[in-house]
Amino acid sequence: MQDTNKELLSRILAQNDELSKKQFELSLQFSNYLNKQELRFVKIEGYLKSDTETNTEGAIEKLNRIDKKLTGLEKEIIKKSAMFGVGASGIVLALKWVIGKIII
């Protein structure tokens, strides 16, 4: 038994109707997914950047501030170590000179 053109068209229309409903559902799911991703990105950006309205320091600014402090401490340690080395060398030289004067 062969279907008539009208029956074939009815089935095609029914299938198109189902497909359009499925496509609509998929587009809704995709839209919801993108909205959730956008919220995540906004939240991550909030952690990284400073908020001038609440005076909250962001992670990037914190890292820059900490890096500057560590660089300053490193320079200070190097400077104090050099001064200690020069002072210790001076004391050793002075002791050698004194001991040399005492022995001679």
pLDDT at 55: 78
What band does 56 get if pLDDT is binned at 50, 70 and 90?
confident
Cα angle: 63, vertex 71, 87; to 5 degrees: 160
Model pLDDT, residue 27: 96
- Residue 104: per-residue pLDDT: 66
Give CA–CA dist 49/81, Å, rounded: 37
Provide the greatest CA pair distance for the chain: 132
* Residue 1 scores a pLDDT above 80: no
| Residue bearing tokens 């229309």 | 13
For residue 77, give the DSSP letter: H
Residues shown for the chain: 104
55 vs 67, higher pLDDT: 67
Backbone angles phi, psi at 56, to 5 degrees: -95, 130
The type of residue at 49 is K
90: part of which helix (H) or strand (E)? helix 59-103
